Amino acid sequence: MTKDFFKRYAISTLGLIVVALGVGVSIKSNLGIAPLSCIPTVLSLKFTNISVGTFTWFFNLSFIVIQACILGKKTRWDLLVQVLPIFIFGYLVDGAIWLFDSLNAPATDYMVQILLSLAAVVLTAIGIRLEVIGRGWMLSVDSTINLITRTTGANFSYIKVGTDVLVVVITAVLALIFFGLLTGNGSTVVIREGTLIQAILTGFCMKLTDPLVDAIFLPRKKG
């Protein structure tokens, strides 16, 4: 029992790390921020004394509220368990940004930018699946999508695509209000082709990566 507990949370933690690395790679691509970090990034550009990781924490916290609204009277106290992983993830995001900032300058070759954006898609897809199968902690965004999936019977990847696109649209509105631009503040580009690539392709990529992740991390059925 204890072994299974630690295994589940180890897999879930690995998922958080992989998703955070996906955010870092998307920033390194210089072709648009990962949808998961679009709103936190544009808010951090406006309120410069607050880090992207901190806004990421508040962003994910809002999804716990959404879950409570969906569950209504069935709301469980175990929703509070999601607070710890999003707090950890906020630090992981800041760490990933620091790590990639300490490396070479952001990519400028367009093909390299596209490849990095696609790499971010794969990392995010793998990380989310690790969270799901780990059944330990999961980012509240992904928990919300998972709840909607269970409640409606809809496909997880399709709900993921819809959520990412909605987040990008909200980011564009905020950027327009804050800076008069749809893409960012003029010096830091939050939304570009890479953002749309990640918003549209991550959910569909999961259809390809999920079976591979499951084959590695899920126990095989005997007989």
In a domain, 168, yes or no: yes
Instruction: Note the pLDDT of residue 55.
Output: 92
Residues in the chain: 223
In a domain, 223, yes or no: no
Is residue 35 within 8 A of residue 203, CB to CB? The reply is no
Number of domains within the chain:
1
In a domain, 127, yes or no: yes
Structural domain harbouring 25: 2-217
Quickly count: other Cβ atoms within 10 Å of residue 49's Cβ: 6
**DSSP letter at 73?**
G
In a domain, 111, yes or no: yes
Mean pLDDT taken over the chain: 85
Residue where the block lists tokens 């679009």 = 38
In a domain, 222, yes or no: no
In a domain, 110, yes or no: yes
In a domain, 25, yes or no: yes
Is residue 178 within 8 A of residue 46, CB to CB? The reply is yes
In a domain, 105, yes or no: yes
Tens digits of per-residue pLDDT, 80-105?
777 888 888 888 888 888 887 777 66
Please say if the pLDDT value at position 13 is more than 60: yes
Confidence of residue 3 (pLDDT cuts 50, 70, 90): low
Instruction: Note the pLDDT of residue 139.
Output: 78
